[in-house]
């Protein structure tokens, strides 16, 4: 093929601006094109014929289509961090400085050594991987593993970058009454009609310019050239206050509830996005109804060598001539089985393309069509077929044979027609990909969703609608401009009815131009002994389809999966129906009985970053406590605890985390420490039945909790396993403040709300999450009371006024403070809550009041250390697999009342003493017990099986050794036993002694003091 | 997929949390039998076609709703309020 | 029936590939079989294969509603691993690994098992401890595992965001070096061909519409083939129909099971040159990704959280999955999603499977695979065949009972409790 720019004049090159020249490079060589060109049209204009190589055989590939259906012309666009592999040259708009390279070839697209893959020829047929590379028994995996390295490197298409994407993406939500997909004749008609009825309309088109087939049409609409008509109508639509026109915006998927995902390519037609401009924008469009007017995709014919650069779809060739003023070759032959091929030839000839021959499988061709053929001055071969394309690398001639329409076979009459481009048309496949994504059956319909074969058009049409969408134009089998306009309006009326809107006004233009038959002859393949391709990207041949048939892979899905037909980056847009037809012939079945596979979203490949949208890079909100800035300013290392960031430890200069937490924990035991507990879940529980509700959701009793007291409560799941724990404070007869674990806050709230609403709607109780409303500070250590006395005076803090588990309200300056005397560390301790906006004030006041006692802020590590020493359980022990009894909390399980989880807690296996039970272990050889250790009986070399595992480990300043809480089989009766905490993945094996989990102050004298 | 919250109106599924089969009914509070609770907690009809289920409008009003949905087509047939405010809402609608 | 080999390929290439024979027969159903397996997916086919190969029971039919391998075996993300923490799972999946390693030879079919490693990223010290606990459990069960630090992770994954400024900075990872991928369709086809060669009848496009019962005992199935109904009697009837379990069991009068069906979506990108060496999972969400031999990134995340029998999902999961993927690999943002699809998962109440005799006499049940069914394919069939042949479970599946829920013996890896969509 040797494409060439035609003489540009009115009607030739309607989409390009010849006054504006752009420079671009392909494979390092510099070329020129015009504004309005695609990379494909510009490459064609510059005579670049081989632009890519196929996936498997590395055969040369040229430009095959003019749109998003392109299987062949894949290039790598841009470089560096913006490098994008597998971009279709037919879709990318030319811009100044565009840089593209061919891919999947070495050293070049023109001369690719990897084409050696063609040598084994038929050995590389479909399914060959499954039959070999197995190696010898015993080492099979290794042999495949070895081969796979090479196969993986040879496979794949373009090269990805390892640099982070420098661009950003945006996300939009949009709502409308009628979404119109596609702005060809049918789409414009539908949008106009819907808008005229007052509907809110969104009109999307994947191209930069609207118009679809109108952009290259020769027809006159209301006496105006189609291109001018489109421009005017589009401008009018865009002006309409109810209409939003989105160009470069492909509607990719149809989801449930009339929700559509569309991707707008905001800046892909530029060298780089403008500052602050997103590269692409993902639109979530929620509509009441939709008109799908996505047109049709031309099918090729299958014949020998049909993959050669130079073979191009007929309508694409016509578009290149009309819109871009480019001829696909110096002499172009046309091969068709329908009238559209002839009109393409005529339109091309009118643009100055030299048409040498028109070859049609049909012998019976209408007079009007013959006239169109005569206008091209080409030799006409009716009742003939192209048997094969000839030429080294690119097309130089075709071999034409006489064709028997009844047997679909060629005769012996052969002649060679010289040409360097062959425009082929095998009929049209409606593009109902979007609606097919829904699949399945509809409630009110038996047939819904499944495509229906139209034997006249030799094509599948979309099945019955499964939701509020209406097909229009070629997508619905309504070919030709007249039908497109009419069906567009009809679809709009149906969509308007879905919205409960009136019918609007009709405004179909008067159309001057051809009126032709779009139905092709039922010919899909011209059989010969030459290699003929069905799927151009994946190199699936017609013989591969027949091989699949021979080996029993006859269902459509098996055909697809076994041969990889239709699984390339074009998802078989130009090859699926042809593949089916060949299988149908092999099975001797009508095509629809072979079936179709469901199209899967997206319609065309979508940048992952566009779907990720703004979430890119920071996919979850960070939750910060009111005192966050103070922590950071005071050298806290912050630790992600669920969505929260919490101080891990406050690291003094040169201090390690371990040194810091040991210092902090020691300070608590010796004097006083302060810790931010704002992250705890807090739920306000109110109502006359609040106490009854709590009594049902906690395993221990809450009925008798007096006002002004707090109680530690255990919550079980309905299946009897521990769910969450925390203290609940009775502030009033009918008012409680419940605290939950930090991680459990959300799920506890949902659990409570579910039981209140769904299970016990008769209980009068209101639940409000107040986690964010309260800031929380815990003060712990023997001097904690002294600190509070500094602030509040001695009396309110005295043991009488505020006993262990007591709760009271106090004022600190203008701040209302709730104080509860609770202890997680086992020391005398308090929790103080105040409004979140006063949190820092309270913190500062406590720090100031604690100065004489060298008050020490402590982080999660010290908090954890203190509770481990005390044997208090937390998240790692509440792992969803433990019961109260396992953790030594049987006393918290009421026998006097029912509660959530009680029944299933009685299940036999949960009552077993063989279960893993909570113990503590102490390192007896001075080695550190590291997280994730298992408890075993044996030495490092023969550890034996796991008898349990550690849950929370630390260095205990109080015991001066490494300790850990652990879950051990029958642990309760094994205190004193010597074992090993083994940690092979961390290369540790520590001698330990099993002890009671209550390692510090087992009688609880300190916190009660 | 969209669900109609009876309190807030038509909303995207992403605002809701799924809470499962609406026909999984907890035994009466007095019942402490393993058998009845096991059936409630573990056994599901899991029908194809119409399914009655509870959703929570977690990122909205936090009310629970009972949805009848065709699980084969994802078609939402109805959304009804449940819980303490359900009656009040229904009364309010009637007037 | 021809054996597959490099030589066979060459021989056939010289004769234009005209002499290849069907991979399996398309037999007519017999009136009676020793065993009928319902479900021609991975698990059903492997069960039939091992019944014939290990237990000498070849008078077996596999009854499949659509085409062989039309369920989840052809819709998954092809991950094969045994990195479990609870002993019953660990032992079972390690048996599967053992079978995977020899599978291509056993079947004379290249299932492309590729032990490229499965890497689970950890994002906090606490998560590292949890992975260490799991890795140690694996070691103690004889399964290789390694704990990697951030530097080691970075070295293996060019392009990954290992910076401390990531929203969830990567702390390290747990690696099972012997885990990896296999070619999903090949597994179904390999087992099908293997079972067929041993005499098993594979009945495609044959839908079970009812069960034959004598009293309470199941004695076969009623099927519909090409619009016609007929009876197939069976000494034993096994059910391995994944997402359709409740539907099929209802036909036998079993109305309630500890299973709910939900949809899991999977995604594949365009083909690119190798960039991702191992299977990698994101630890601050739910995402798993690997690169196929063809070059596509194959990935997935959570199920769509609601009951579903539709093989397609919705947008929220797309957004969640893609954002996690580009958070982990910011260089993937410009790569493009090619295709997504859905499969129906049989989510059990504890996230672990059921392979058991019963629940009715004459019947055997294999279900509850959640979204871990692919890797289990060999061991599932192997254990199910054993259970059917011997009328009692093998030690490896003795914990995977239906009764475990009522007895209080759940096998809950995540500790998520009896909420199927949390597993």
Nearest to B33 among A443, A756, A903 (CB): A903
Handedness of CA A66, A67, A70, A73 (dihedral sign): positive
Q: C118-182+260-348 maps to which CATH number?
A: 3.30.9.10
In 3-state terms, what secondary structure has residue A116?
A: helix
Using the predicted structure, report yes or no on whether residue A444 has a pLDDT greater than 60.
Answer: no
Tell me if A688 is assigned to some domain. Answer: yes
Between CA C262 and CA A493 the distance in angstroms is 37
Name the nearest CA neighbour of A42 among A56, A61, A24, A29. A24
C-beta atoms of B84 and A761 within 8 A: yes
- Give the distance from residue A103's alpha carbon to the nearest chain C alpha carbon, in angstroms: 10
Q: What is the DSSP string of A150-195?
A: HHHHHS-SBPPPSSPP---EEEEEEEEEEEEE--SHHHHHHHHHHH
Tokens of C311: 């093989």
Q: Using CB atoms, which residue from B13, B39, B71 is nearest to C309?
A: B71
Contacts of A907 in chain B (CB under 8 A): 34, 38
Tell me: the pLDDT tens digits for C198-229? 999 999 999 999 999 999 999 999 999 999 99
pLDDT at position B94 over 60:
no
Q: Which residue has the tokens 């009309």?
A: A322
Nearest-CA distance C213 → chain A (Å): 31
In whole angstroms, what is the distance from residue A89 CA to residue A68 CA? 9
Averaged confidence pLDDT in chain B: 92
In Å, how far is C256's CA from the nearest CA of chain B? 5
Whether C333 and A608 have beta carbons less than 8 Å apart is answered as yes
Is A38 part of a structural domain of the chain?
no
**pLDDT score at C151:** 96
- Give chain C positions within 8 Å (CB) of B44: 246, 256-260, 420
Closest to B72 (Cβ–Cβ): which among C258, C310, C420? C310
Closest CA to A311 of A428, A402, A420, A426: A420
Helix spans in A859-990 (H): 860-870, 902-905
Phi/psi zone of residue A549: left (φ > 0), alpha (ψ -120 to 50 degrees), beta? alpha
A315's tokens: 């309508």
Task: Name which of A118-132, C142-156, C169-183, C227-241 the model is least confident about.
Answer: A118-132
Residue B42 to residue C349, Cβ atoms within 8 A: yes
* For residue A616, pLDDT beyond 90: no
C5 touches chain A (CB under 8 A): yes
A500 and A455 within one domain: yes
Q: What pLDDT, on the 0 to 100 scale, is given for residue A138?
A: 66
Q: Which chains touch A (3 or more CB pairs under 8 A)?
A: B, C
Task: Please tell me which chains touch B, using 3 or more CB pairs under 8 Å as the contact test.
Answer: A, C
Same domain, A534 and A647: no
- Average the pLDDT over C346-359 and give the result: 97
Cα A584 to Cα A572: distance, rounded to the nearest angstrom: 17
The set of chains that have 3 or more CB pairs under 8 A with C is A, B
Query: CA angle, A781 as apex, A793 and A917 as ends, to 5°?
Result: 135
Question: What is the pLDDT, as a whole number, of residue A513?
Answer: 85
| Residue burial A851-864, b: 16+ Cβ < 10 Å; e: rest | eebebbbbbbbbbb
* Other beta carbons within 10 Å of A1005: 9
Q: Are residues A782 and A763 in the same domain?
A: no
Q: How far apart (Å, rounded) are the C-alpha atoms in residues C199 and A343?
A: 58
Q: How far is CA C194 from CA A549, A890, C3, C22, C100, in A?
A: 19, 55, 11, 12, 15
List the single range of A475-489, A913-927, C4-18 with lowest mean pLDDT. C4-18
Q: Are A649 and A791 members of one domain?
A: yes
* Three-state secondary structure string covering A604-641: CCEEHHHHHHHHCCCCCCCECCCCHHHHHHCCEEEEEE
Of residues A86 and A463, more confidence is placed in: A86
In this structure, the number of other CB atoms found within 10 A of the CB of residue C216 comes to 11
Tell me, yes or no, whether A214 and A248 share the same domain.
yes
Q: What's the number of CA atoms in the CB half-sphere (13 Å) around residue A536?
A: 32
Residues A750, B31: C-beta atoms closer than 8 Å: no
pLDDT band, very low/low/confident/very high, at A449 (cuts 50, 70, 90): low
Judging contacts by C-beta atoms under 8 Å, the chain B residues touching residue C349 are: 41-42
- pLDDT value at residue A447: 43
Q: Judge: C325–A547 Cβ closer than 8 Å, yes or no.
A: no
The three-class DSSP label of residue C241 is coil
C-alpha distances (whole Å) from A410 to each of A304, A365, A386, A399, A530 are 13, 19, 9, 11, 13
Backbone angles phi, psi at A869, to 5 degrees: -60, -35
* Residue among C403, C389, C48, C397 at smallest CA distance from C195: C48
Residue B93 has pLDDT above 70, yes or no: no
Structural domain boundaries of chain C? Answer: 21-82+84-101+184-258+350-422, 118-182+260-348
Any B CB within 8 A of A270 CB = no
Average of per-residue pLDDT across A105-112: 85
Q: What number of C-beta contacts closer than 8 Å exist between A and B?
A: 84
Query: DSSP assignment, residue A929?
Result: P
What length is written for chain B?
95
Q: A183 and A258: one domain? A: yes
CA A741 – CA C149 distance, rounded (Å): 29
Ranges assigned E (strand) in C247-315: 259-271, 279-282, 287-291, 296-307
Q: What is the mean pLDDT of chain C?
A: 95
Cβ distance of A719 and B86 shorter than 8 Å: no
3-state secondary structure A328-388: CCCCEEEEECCHHHHHHHHHHHHHCCCEEEEEECCCCCCHHHHHHHHHHCCEEEECEEEEE
> Is the pLDDT confidence value at A59 over 80?
yes
Q: What is the mean pLDDT of residues A302-328?
A: 97
Q: Do A257 and B2 touch (CB under 8 A)?
A: yes
Q: Which residues contact A880 (CB under 8 A, 6 or more apart)?
A: A717, A721, A722, C412, C414, C415, C416, C417
CATH fold for domain C21-82+84-101+184-258+350-422: FAD/NAD(P)-binding domain (3.50.50)
Q: Is the pLDDT of residue A654 over 90?
A: yes
Q: Quick one: pLDDT band at residue A94, thresholds 50, 70, 90?
A: very high
Chain B residues within an 8 Å CB radius of C406: 34-35, 38, 42
Per-residue model confidence as pLDDT tens digits over A498-524? 999 999 999 999 999 888 889 999 999
Q: Are A694 and A748 in contact (CB under 8 A)?
A: no
Question: Quick one: average pLDDT of A217-239?
Answer: 94
pLDDT tens, residue by residue, B49-87:
999 999 999 999 999 999 999 999 999 999 999 988 887
Partner-chain residue, chosen from C260, C305, C310, that has the shortest CB–CB distance to B46: C260
Q: Do A850 and A796 belong together in one domain? A: yes
Q: Which residues of A touch C332 (CB under 8 A)?
A: 160, 608-609
HEC sequence for A214-249: HHCCCCEECCEEHHHHHHHHHHHHHHCCCEEEECCE
Q: Contact at 8 Å (CB) between A978 and A993?
A: yes
CA dist., res. A931 & res. A948, Å (int) = 13
CB contact under 8 A, C246 and B45: yes
- B48 to chain A nearest CA, in Å? 12
Q: What is the tens place of the pLDDT at every residue in A244-268? A: 999 999 999 999 999 999 999 999 9
Whether the Cβ atoms of residue A526 and residue A301 lie closer than 8 Å to each other: yes
Burial label for A996, CB within 10 Å (0-12, 13-18, 19+), is middle
Is B11 near chain A, with CB under 8 Å?
Answer: no
Residue A439 has pLDDT above 90, yes or no: no
**Long-range contacts formed by A145-150: CB under 8 A, 24+ apart:** A145/C114, A145/C115, A148/C112, A148/C114, A148/C293
C259 closest CB neighbour out of B12, B44, B48: B44
Residues on chain C touching A716 (C-beta within 8 angstroms): none
Q: What is the per-residue pLDDT across A924-964, written as a single tens digit (0 to 9) for each?
A: 999 999 999 999 999 999 999 999 999 999 999 999 999 99
Which residues, 6 or more positions from A43, have their beta carbon under 8 angstroms from its beta carbon?
A3, A26, A31, A51, A63, A73, A89
Check if the beta carbon of residue A282 is closer than 8 Å to that of residue A610. Answer: yes
R_g over Cα of chain C: 22
CB count in 10 Å sphere of residue A510: 9
C138: CB partners within 8 A, 6+ apart: C82, C83, C84, C85, C90, C144, C145, C176
Distance, CA of A240 to CA of A584 (rounded, Å): 49
CATH of the domain at A548: 1.10.10.1100
Nearest by CB to residue C314, choosing from B13, B21, B46, is B13
Task: Provide CB contacts within 8 A for A281, sequence distance 6+.
Answer: A169, A170, A171, A172, A263, A264, A266, A610
Total domains in the fold of chain A: 5
**Could you tell me what percent of chain A has a pLDDT over 90?**
87
Number of domains in chain B: 1
Candidates A448, A686, A719, A753: best to mutate against B (most CBs of B within 10 A) is A753
Nearest-Cα residue of chain B relative to residue A717: B41
Range of the domain at A739: 681-769
Which chain C residues touch A722 with a CB distance below 8 Å? none
Residue from the list C294, C333, C416 with its beta carbon closest to the beta carbon of A612: C333
A851 touches chain B (CB under 8 A): no
pLDDT at A442: 40
Per-residue model confidence (pLDDT) at position A443: 39
How close, in Å, is residue A477 to chain B by CA atoms?
26
B48/C260 touch (CB, cutoff 8 Å), yes or no: no
> Is residue A445 less than 8 Å (CB to CB) from chain B?
no
The residues near A581 (Cβ < 8 Å, ≥ 6 apart) are A524, A525, A591
- pLDDT (average), residues A605-623: 83
Kindly list the distances between the CA atom of residue C258 and the CA atoms of A900, C217, C352, in Å, as whole numbers in the listed order: 20, 22, 11
Claim to verify: residue A921 and residue A806 sit in the same structural domain: no
- Give every CB contact of residue C171 below 8 A, 6+ residues apart in sequence: C122, C123, C124, C125, C127, C128, C150
Q: Among partner residues B33, B73, B76, which is closest to A440 by beta-carbon distance?
A: B73
pLDDT at B95: 44
pLDDT at A106: 84
Instruction: Provide DSSP, A569-583.
Output: TTTTTTTHHHHHHHH
Write out pLDDT tens, residues A978-1005.
999 999 999 999 999 999 999 999 998 8
Q: Identify the pLDDT of residue C1.
A: 58
Residue pair A974/A982 in contact (Cβ under 8 Å)? The answer is no
Answer with the one of A836, A865, A894 that is the final residue of a domain.
A865
Q: What angle do CA A250, A200, A276 make, to 5 degrees?
A: 50
A104 part of a folded domain: no
pLDDT computed for residue A111 by the predictor = 85
As a 3-state breakdown, chain A gives helix, strand, coil percent values, each rounded to 5, of 25, 30, 45
| A763 & A794 share domain | no
pLDDT of residue A115: 82
The C-alpha atoms of residue A505 and residue A232 are separated, in whole angstroms, by 18
| Domain contains A142 | no
Q: How far is C3 from C8, CA to CA, in rounded Å?
A: 7
Residue A188 has pLDDT above 70, yes or no: yes
Contacts of C115 in chain A (CB under 8 A): 141, 145
Structure tokens at A473: 């134009």
CATH number of the domain to which A691 belongs: 3.30.70.1400
Q: Tally Cβ neighbours within 10 Å of residue C34.
A: 15
For residue A126, the model assigns a pLDDT of 86
C20 touches chain A (CB under 8 A): yes
Predicted local confidence at residue C107, as pLDDT = 95
pLDDT for residue A965 is more than 80:
yes
Q: What is the pLDDT of residues C96-110, one digit of tens each?
A: 999 999 999 999 999
Q: Give the domain CATH number at A967.
A: 2.40.30.110
Query: From CA A190, how far away is CA A506, in angstroms rounded?
Result: 10
Contact A165, A276 (CB under 8 A): no
Nearest to A125 among C17, C24, C102 (CB): C17
Give the mean pLDDT of A467-471.
94
From C314, C316, C418, residue closest to B41, measured CB to CB: C418
Here the CATH number for the domain that contains residue A450 is 3.50.50.60
| CATH number of the domain that residue B74 is part of | 3.30.2270.10
Q: What is the pLDDT of residue A8?
A: 87
The nearest alpha carbon in chain A to C6 belongs to A132
């Amino acid at each position: 093929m040797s494409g060439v720019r035609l003489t540009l004049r009115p009607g030739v090159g309607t989409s390009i601006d010849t006054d504006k020249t752009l420079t671009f490079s392909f494979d390092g060589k510099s070329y020129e094109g015009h504004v309005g060109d695609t990379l494909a049209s510009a490459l064609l204009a510059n005579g670049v014929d081989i632009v890519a190589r196929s996936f498997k055989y590395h055969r040369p590939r040229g430009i095959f289509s003019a749109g998003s259906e392109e299987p062949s012309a894949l290039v790598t666009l841009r470089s560096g961090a913006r490098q994008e592999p597998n971009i279709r040259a037919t879709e990318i708009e030319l811009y100044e400085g565009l840089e593209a390279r061919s891919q999947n070839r070495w050293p070049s697209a023109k001369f690719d050594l990897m084409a050696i893959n063609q040598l084994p020829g038929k050995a590389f047929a479909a399914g060959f991987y499954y039959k070999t590379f197995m190696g010898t028994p015993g080492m099979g995996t290794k042999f495949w593993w070895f081969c796979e390295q090479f196969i993986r490197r040879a496979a794949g298409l373009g090269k990805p970058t390892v640099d982070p994407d420098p661009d950003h993406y945006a996300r939009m939500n949009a709502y409308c009454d009628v979404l119109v997909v596609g702005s060809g004749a049918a789409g414009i008609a539908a949008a106009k009609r819907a808008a005229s009825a007052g509907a809110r309309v969104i009109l999307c088109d994947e191209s930069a310019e609207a118009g679809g087939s109108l952009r290259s049409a020769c027809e006159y609409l209301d006496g105006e050239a189609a291109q001018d008509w489109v421009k005017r109508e589009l401008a009018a639509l865009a002006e309409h206050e109810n209409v939003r026109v989105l160009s470069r915006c492909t509607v990719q998927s149809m989801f449930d509830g009339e929700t559509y995902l569309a991707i707008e390519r905001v800046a892909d037609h530029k060298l780089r996005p403008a500052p602050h401009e997103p590269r692409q924008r993902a639109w979530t469009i929620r509509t009441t109804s939709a008109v799908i007017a996505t047109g049709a995709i031309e099918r090729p014919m299958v014949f020998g060598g049909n993959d050669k650069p130079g073979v191009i779809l007929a309508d694409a060739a016509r578009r290149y001539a009309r819109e871009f003023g480019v001829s696909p070759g110096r002499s172009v032959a046309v091969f068709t089985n329908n009238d559209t091929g002839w009109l393409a030839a005529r339109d091309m000839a009118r643009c100055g393309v030299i048409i040498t021959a028109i070859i049609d499988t049909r012998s019976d061709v209408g007079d009007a069509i013959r006239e169109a053929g005569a206008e091209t001055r080409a030799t006409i071969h009716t009742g003939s077929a192209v048997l094969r394309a000839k030429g080294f690398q690119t097309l130089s001639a075709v071999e034409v044979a006489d064709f028997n329409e009844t047997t679909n076979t060629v005769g012996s009459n052969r002649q060679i027609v010289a040409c360097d481009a062959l425009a082929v048309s095998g009929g049209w496949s409606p593009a109902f990909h979007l609606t097919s994504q829904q699949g399945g059956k509809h409630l009110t319909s038996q047939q819904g969703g499944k495509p229906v074969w139209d034997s006249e058009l030799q094509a599948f049409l979309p099945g019955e609608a499964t939701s509020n969408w209406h097909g229009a134009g070629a997508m619905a089998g309504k070919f030709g401009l007249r039908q497109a306009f009419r069906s567009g309006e009809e679809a709009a009326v149906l969509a308007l009815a879905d919205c409960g809107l009136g019918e609007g006004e009709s405004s179909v233009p008067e159309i001057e131009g051809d009126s032709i038959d779009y139905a092709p002859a039922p010919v899909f393949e011209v059989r010969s002994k030459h290699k003929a391709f069905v799927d151009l990207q994946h190199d699936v041949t017609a013989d591969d389809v027949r091989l699949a048939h021979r080996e029993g892979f006859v269902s459509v899905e098996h055909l697809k999966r076994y041969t990889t037909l239709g699984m390339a980056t074009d998802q078989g847009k130009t090859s699926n129906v042809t593949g089916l037809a060949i299988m149908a012939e092999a099975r001797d079945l009508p095509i629809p009985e072979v079936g179709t596979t469901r199209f899967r979203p997206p319609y065309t490949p979508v940048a992952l970053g566009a779907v990720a949208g703004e979430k890119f890079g920071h996919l979850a909100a960070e939750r910060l406590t009111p005192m966050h800035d103070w922590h950071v300013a005071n050298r806290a290392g912050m630790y992600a605890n669920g969505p929260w960031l919490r101080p891990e430890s406050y690291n003094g200069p040169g201090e390690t985390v371990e040194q810091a937490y040991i210092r902090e924990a020691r300070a608590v035991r010796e004097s006083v420490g302060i810790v931010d507990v704002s992250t705890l879940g807090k739920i306000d529980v109110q109502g006359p039945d609040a106490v009854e509700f709590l009594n049902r959701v906690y395993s221990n009793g809450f009925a008798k909790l007096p006002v002004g007291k707090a109680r530690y409560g255990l919550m079980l799941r309905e299946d009897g396993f521990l769910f969450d724990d925390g203290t609940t404070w009775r502030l009033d007869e009918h008012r409680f403040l419940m605290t939950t674990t930090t991680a459990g806050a959300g799920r506890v709230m949902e659990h409570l709300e579910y039981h209140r609403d769904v299970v016990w709607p008769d209980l009068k109780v209101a639940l409000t999450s107040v986690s964010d409303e309260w800031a929380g500070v815990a003060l712990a250590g023997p001097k904690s009371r002294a600190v509070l006395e500094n602030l509040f005076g001695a009396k309110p803090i005295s043991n009488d006024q505020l006993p262990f588990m007591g709760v009271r309200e106090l004022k600190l300056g203008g701040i209302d403070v709730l104080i509860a005397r609770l202890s997680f560390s086992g020391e005398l301790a308090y929790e103080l809550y105040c409004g979140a906006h006063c949190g820092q004030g309270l913190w500062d006041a406590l720090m100031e009041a604690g100065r004489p006692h060298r008050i020490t802020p402590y982080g999660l590590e010290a908090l954890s250390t203190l509770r481990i020493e005390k044997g208090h359980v937390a998240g790692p022990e509440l792992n969803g697999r433990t019961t109260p009894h396992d953790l030594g909390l049987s006393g918290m399980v009421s026998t006097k009342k029912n509660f959530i989880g009680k029944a299933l807690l009685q299940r036999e296996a949960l009552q077993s003493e063989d279960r893993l039970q909570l113990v503590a272990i102490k390192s007896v050889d001075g080695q550190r017990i590291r997280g994730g250790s298992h408890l075993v009986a044996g030495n490092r070399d023969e550890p034996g099986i796991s008898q349990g595992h550690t849950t929370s480990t630390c260095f205990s300043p109080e015991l001066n050794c490494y300790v850990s809480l652990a879950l051990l089989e029958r642990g309760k009766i094994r205190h004193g036993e010597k074992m090993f905490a083994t940690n092979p993945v961390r290369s540790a094996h520590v001698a330990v002694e099993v002890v009671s989990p209550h390692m510090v102050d087992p009688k609880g004298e300190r916190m009660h003091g | 997929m969209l669900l109609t919250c009876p309190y807030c109106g038509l909303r995207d599924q992403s605002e809701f949390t799924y809470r499962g089969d609406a026909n999984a009914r907890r035994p009466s509070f007095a019942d402490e039998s393993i058998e009845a609770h096991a059936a409630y907690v573990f056994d599901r009809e899991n029908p194809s076609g119409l399914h009655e289920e509870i959703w929570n409008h977690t990122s909205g009003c936090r009310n629970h709703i009972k949805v009848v949905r065709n699980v084969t087509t994802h078609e939402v047939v109805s959304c009804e309020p449940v819980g303490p405010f359900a009656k009040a809402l229904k009364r309010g609608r009637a007037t | 029936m021809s054996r597959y080999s490099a030589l066979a390929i060459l021989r056939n290439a010289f004769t234009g590939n005209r002499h290849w024979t069907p991979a399996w027969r398309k037999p007519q159903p017999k009136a009676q079989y020793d065993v009928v397996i319902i479900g021609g997916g991975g698990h059903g086919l492997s069960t039939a294969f091992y019944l014939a190969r290990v237990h000498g029971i070849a008078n077996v039919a596999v009854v499949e509603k659509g085409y062989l391998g039309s369920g989840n075996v052809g819709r998954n993300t092809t991950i094969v691993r045994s990195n479990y923490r609870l002993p019953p799972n660990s032992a079972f999946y390690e048996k599967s690994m053992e079978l995977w390693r020899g599978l291509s030879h056993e079947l004379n079919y290249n299932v492309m098992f590729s032990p490229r490693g499965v890497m689970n990223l950890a994002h906090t010290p606490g998560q590292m401890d949890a992975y260490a606990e799991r890795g140690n459990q694996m070691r103690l069960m004889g399964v290789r595992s390694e704990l990697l630090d951030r530097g080691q992770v970075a070295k293996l994954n060019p392009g990954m965001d290992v910076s401390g400024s990531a929203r969830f900075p990567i702390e390290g990872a747990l690696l099972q070096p012997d885990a990896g991928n296999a070619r999903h369709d090949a597994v179904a086809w390999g087992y099908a061909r293997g079972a067929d060669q041993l005499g098993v009848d594979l009945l495609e496009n044959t839908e079970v519409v009812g069960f034959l019962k004598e009293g309470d005992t199941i004695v076969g199935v009623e099927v519909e083939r090409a619009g016609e109904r007929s009876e197939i009697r069976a000494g034993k009837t096994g059910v391995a129909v994944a997402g359709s379990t409740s539907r099929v069991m209802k036909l036998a009068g079993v109305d309630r099971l500890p299973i709910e069906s939900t949809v899991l979506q999977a995604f594949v990108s365009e083909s690119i040159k190798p960039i991702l060496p191992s299977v990698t999972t994101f630890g601050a969400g739910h995402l798993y990704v690997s690169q196929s031999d063809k070059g596509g990134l194959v990935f997935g995340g959570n199920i769509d959280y609601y009951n579903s029998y539709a093989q397609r999902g919705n947008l929220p999961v797309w957004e969640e999955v893609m954002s996690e993927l580009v958070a982990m690999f910011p260089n993937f943002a410009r790569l493009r999603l090619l295709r997504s699809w859905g499969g129906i998962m049989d989510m059990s109440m504890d996230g672990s499977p059921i392979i058991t005799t019963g629940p009715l006499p004459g019947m055997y049940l294999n279900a509850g695979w959640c979204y871990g069914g692919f890797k289990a394919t060999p061991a599932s069939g192997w254990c199910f065949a054993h259970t059917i042949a011997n009328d009692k479970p093998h030690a490896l599946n003795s914990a995977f009972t239906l009764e475990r829920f009522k007895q209080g013996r759940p096998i809950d890896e995540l500790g998520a409790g009896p909420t199927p969509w949390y597993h």
